[in-house]
Copies of this chain bind each other. A is one copy, B any other.
Amino acid sequence: MKSIQEILPNMSFGGDYNPEQWDESVWKRDAELMKKAGVNLVSVGIFSWSVLETQEDQFEFEWLDRVLDLLYEHGIYACLATATASPPAWLTKKYPDVTAVNEQGQPYHFGSRQHYSPNSPSYKRAVEKLVSALAERYKDHPGVKMWHINNEYGCHVSECYSTYSLYAFRDWLKKRYGTIEELNQAWGTSFWSQRYTEWSEIDFPVRQATFYNPGQKLDYKRFMNDSLFELYMIEKRILRDVTPTIPVFTNFMYQFKPLDYHEWAKETDVVTWDTYPDPREGVPYRHAFHHDLMRSLRHGQPFFIMEQASGHVNWRDINLTKEPGEMRLWSYSAVARGADAIMYFQWRQGKAGAEKFHSAMIPHSDSEESRTYREVQALGNELKKLGELTGSKVEAKVAILFDWENWWAVELEGKPHNKLDYMETVMAYYKPLYDVNVAIDIVHPDTDLSGYELVIAPMLYAMKESTATSFETYVRKGGKMVFSYFSGIADLHDRIYVGGYPGPIRKLLGLSIDEFVPLAEGEQVKLRDKSGVYACQTWTESIQLENAEALAAFTDTWLNEYPAVTHNRYGDGDVFYIGTSPDPEWLSEFILSRLKDAGIASPKAHQEGLEIQERTGENGRFLFLLNHSKETKTVKTGWKGVALLKDEPIDDTLTIESREVVIIKMS
């Protein structure tokens, strides 16, 4: 198969296109307005099942033929959707097992979307038939450049409690553990008289009298991830078989806990994701984190923004809109961090249904003069200037470790502190790096770390012993790592490494911890280091130094003089440990020192509110400067290069207006 860049050599621009919601008379106007707006790629048919297969085995493709032809005639390619996200009414009624069952044991009612059970035999059978028919029909259509499999897997239904799911859960466990005794060990069922003697005794870990078994809950999460993944693989196998040269993907989501995208990304030809920052956030640095994460999922390969809003969404309590310039600015932030496509949900704002107040590329007024269309059009035509960017990479020397299995484990109930938020903790360590415009990868703990100068592991509660061993290897050879508190406590069954926390990384850190001492909400104590005294909150603990030295100590608590932050020299490397949730100002300084130690300079100058990122590829180095602030920024360059959007050489001094973007091809 060709690379994505070969298939789509320019920056892609477009959105979801749902022609079945409109009279055919509108389609022509759509194609023309698309062309005018620089659209070159649309996702077609995501919710078309009910009009593609109107009764069982009764396929109606003619309308879709006409749509694809019309688009192609206008120079617009299609990500053709497999249309399986929303099984139609007739299927749902005919085969009741299609429907997922909620935690209360109730099947969902038909009438919304994506209500299927991932373990429904009837749904799988129907999917196979539809996807095969689509693949056969369109395998040779020149406009079909990619397959959009299903849609946002797990978005609404990421857990199912149907009987089929129960049987599948037991089968999954049997496959995982082999013997019931092995499962009893993994789940620690000696506790609370929970021992199983047969697989058929196992039920779902919901609606129990009190706290669940953590091992069981964790396995249920894995099982559901695997169940949904198997749906994806059913489709992928068919498509690969019939259309081996057309890439496949499914669109990922923001901060989405149920799916282990590290596993999924291995089987997608390109990572695509849907980004919906709430304008209330101001600078969307949390979404920047996700750009970095999504890029890292396939080890730096450029990703696609498959959906964003031109203005506002409709599913928040109050749906603020992007102010003039914000949509463009945030789109370029994605490009700067590795995006090769900017797509929207959706092309034309719907007239009816649940999402009719979601913004689109063409609003309800259908007016070319609308602010929305004008901004979309401007961006679409501007992106044409950036063709040489596609395929270029972001080179990061810093990595943050991020692991879905740990996310699941650390947020299970029954912890010392039950308001710990893994994502927030990771974000606290990401923010200071973002602020200084360092390039950052977000990688799985089992990734080969040897290319990184600095690796940060926030709250890596659950880990395998082998992972700890690979950390030791990395550090011994000169690597630098930072760990936060509550790391290395449990294995991947959420069983404690007994004999002294943090079991597997105790030697690496050169310390052990006698007790965890969480703080009440709002409670603060202090840490003192050579630079001063700083607040910290959420967590303290009694660290006992074994080989490490203390860099900071607690004060203003009964843990007075206990170490709060430590450093351990291990082999040729250095390991730092932070036993609390420190003041952001302190953490920022700490991270800057680590960057300095590691010899990592942030790219060029940096100023508050000025995002700077760099991409490098066959066609050269590209520097992005994005002004998120309300003020004009001035940057002394001393560089040589061409400002691509203006297509003119840069000056010694760059003046960047509020919400403006400069992309420099460095020479």
Contact = CB atoms under 8 A, between A and B. Distances in A.
A48 B193 contact: yes
A416 B312 contact: yes
* Copies held by the complex: 3
Interface string A187-229: 1111111111110111111111111111110000000000000
A265 interface: no
B191 A515 contact: no
Contact of A365 (B47, B353, B419, B514): B514
Given A50-B195, A354-B192, A416-B314, A207 B500 contact: no
- Among A209, A355, A367, find the residue whose CB has the most chain B CB atoms closer than 10 A: A209
Contact of A215 (B113, B187, B311, B352): B352
Given A193-B88, A318-B419, A210 B113 contact: yes
A356 B496 contact: yes
Interface in A290-349: 311-312, 314-321, 323-324
Interface string A488-523: 000001111011110000000000101111111100
Contact of A209 (B100, B187, B210): B100
Contacts of A27: none
B419 A210 contact: no
A273 interface: no
Contact of A112 (B49, B209, B350, B367): B209
Contacts of A357: 414-416, 516
A157 interface: yes
Interface stretch (A103-111, A387-395, A527-535): A103-111
A192 B16 CA distance: 12
Contacts of A286: none
Contacts of A48: 193
A512 to B, nearest CB: 7
B192 A86 contact: yes
Contacts of A89: 194-198, 201-202
Nearest to A493: B352
Contacts of A245: none
B93 A213 contact: no
Nearest to A415: B357
Interface in A595-644: none
A90 interface: yes
Contact of A352 (B108, B115, B352, B496): B496
B207 A371 contact: no
Contacts of A90: 197-198, 201
Interface in A156-204: 156-157, 187-198, 200-204
A321 B515 contact: yes
B542 A500 contact: no
Contacts of A111: 194, 202-203, 205, 208, 212-213, 216
A431 to B, nearest CB: 22
A155 interface: yes
A515 B558 CA distance: 53
Contacts of A193: 47-51, 83, 85-88, 113
Contacts of A43: none
Q: Name, among A106, A356, A495, the residue most crowded by chain B CB atoms within 10 Å (CB to CB).
A: A356
A572 to B, nearest CB: 30
Interface string A447-477: 0000000000000000000000000000000
A463 to B, nearest CB: 16
B88 A190 contact: no
A21 interface: yes
A21 to B, nearest CB: 4
Interface string A32-49: 000000000000000111
A579 B306 CA distance: 34
Q: Which 6 A-B pairs have the closest CB atoms?
A: A188-B352, A191-B353, A112-B208, A211-B354, A86-B193, A89-B201
30 contacts: A47-B191, A50-B195, A89-B196, A90-B197, A93-B201, A108-B208, A110-B203, A111-B202, A111-B203, A111-B205, A112-B194, A112-B211, A191-B350, A192-B355, A211-B315, A314-B414, A318-B418, A321-B517, A324-B558, A350-B496, A352-B493, A352-B494, A354-B413, A356-B414, A364-B496, A364-B500, A365-B498, A365-B512, A370-B515, A372-B515
Interface of A: 18, 20-21, 47-51, 54-55, 83, 85-90, 92-93, 100, 102, 104-106, 108-115, 155-157, 187-198, 200-216, 280, 311-312, 314-321, 323-324, 350-357, 363-367, 370-372, 413-419, 493-496, 498-501, 512, 514-521, 542, 558
